[in-house]
């Protein structure tokens, strides 16, 4: 696992090898960032990595010049790996729902959601709360990674556009909120 773009390109990242952790592969990450680069300037972006794991998605944004990256990861051993990977600030260890309610007035350009695969309901709940709290800036995007290939974001009661891509067992959803 490594940083694939920006000023930190090539930096190897520490991670936890267990059956609860499945880092996003470099191939999937590269595809995600290629898609995002078509519509986002990472410089000065405000980013939330909600189920941060080892922090690789947020670090990719920092490497590309994002001005603010906030990481949230409930598992202490993963937060320790974030520190080894160079994350120095903006790290929280809250349950995702508690985090979203505590920081409900904060606005982001990009939100990454990569909940534990066995808890895809976390992704639906997080997207709903982000929409309710209006946590995305205009033209903001939520990027969801899930093993589940049929997450139903369209029945949340919001005007959403969802672009889904499949890479092996990873399903990536790009969720846009239409005004």
Q: What is the pLDDT of residues 53-101, one digit of tens each?
A: 889 999 999 999 999 999 999 999 989 988 988 898 899 999 999 999 9
Q: Mind listing the pLDDT tens digit for each residue in 95-124? A: 999 999 999 999 999 999 999 877 778 999
CATH code for position 106: 3.40.50.150
- With respect to residue 87, please indicate whether it lies within any of the assigned structural domains: yes
Domain range for 172 = 26-177
In a domain, 6, yes or no: no
Counting the structural domains of the chain, the total is: 1
Q: Is residue 9 part of a domain?
A: no
Residue 68 lies in a domain: yes
Cα separation, 113 vs 146, in Å, equals 9
Q: Give the pLDDT confidence of 12-59 residue by residue, as tens digits.
A: 988 777 766 677 888 999 999 999 998 888 998 999 999 998 899 999
> pTM score > 0.85 for this model?
yes
């Amino acid at each position: 696992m490594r940083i694939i773009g920006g000023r930190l390109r090539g930096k190897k990242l520490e991670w936890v090898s267990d059956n609860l952790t499945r880092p996003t592969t470099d191939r999937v990450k590269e595809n995600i960032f290629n898609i995002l680069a078509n519509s986002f300037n990472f410089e000065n972006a405000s980013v939330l990595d909600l189920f941060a794991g080892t922090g690789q998605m947020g670090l990719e944004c920092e490497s590309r010049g994002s001005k603010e990256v906030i990481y949230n990861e409930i598992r202490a051993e993963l937060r320790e790996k974030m520190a080894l990977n160079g994350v120095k600030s903006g790290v929280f260890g809250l349950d995702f729902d508690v985090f979203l309610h505590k920081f409900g007035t904060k606005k982001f350009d990009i939100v990454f959601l990569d909940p534990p695969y066995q808890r895809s309901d976390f992704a639906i709940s997080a997207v709903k709360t982000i929409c309710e709290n209006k946590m995305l800036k205009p033209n903001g995007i939520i990027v969801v990674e899930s093993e589940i290939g049929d997450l139903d974001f369209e029945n949340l009661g919001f005007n959403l556009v969802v672009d889904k891509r499949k890479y092996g067992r990873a399903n990536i959803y790009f969720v846009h909120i239409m005004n």
